[in-house]
């Protein structure tokens, strides 16, 4: 890992985005809460937050960070076949939080895929 011991602590903010595309019927099921596993968006939000908090355990050489905020948001209104995901991470520390934001988006998208794969294997 890079030595950040002599760096000053500053406020750090990162925003990452991604999307998952699916059949319109699958998105309609997500919107209506029609999945046995539960509320897809709520579970994906929690998964994204948990992933951000555990980034240093998943990505080699990432510093563990004292995150002060993680927000994972979803937008399913821009298309009838896509969910856009945005994660914002914040800290006051010696190194940036971009890996945490990217990890949050990635795991949120993977969670959506996992919860919806029984009805739509063509998600991207």
Query: What residues contact 59, with CB distance under 8 A and at least 6 apart?
Result: 99, 103
Active-site amino acid positions: 114
Cα→Cα distances 12→34, 88, 94, Å: 38, 11, 9
Determine the Cα–Cα distance for residues 123 and 32; give it in Å rounded to an integer.
Answer: 18
Is residue 16 a contact partner of residue 86, using CB atoms and an 8 Å limit?
A: yes
């Amino acid at each position: 890992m890079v030595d950040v011991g002599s760096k000053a602590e500053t406020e750090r903010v990162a925003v990452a985005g991604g999307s998952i595309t699916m059949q319109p019927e699958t998105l309609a099921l997500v919107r209506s809460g029609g999945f046995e596993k539960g509320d897809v968006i709520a579970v994906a939000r929690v998964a994204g937050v948990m992933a951000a908090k555990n980034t240093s355990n998943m990505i080699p050489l990432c510093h563990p960070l004292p995150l002060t905020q993680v927000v994972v948001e979803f937008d399913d209104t821009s298309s009838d076949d896509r969910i856009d995901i945005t994660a914002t991470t914040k800290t006051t520390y010696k190194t940036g939080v971009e890996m945490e934001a990217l990890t949050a988006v990635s795991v949120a998208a993977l969670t959506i895929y996992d919860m919806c794969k029984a009805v739509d294997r063509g998600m991207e």
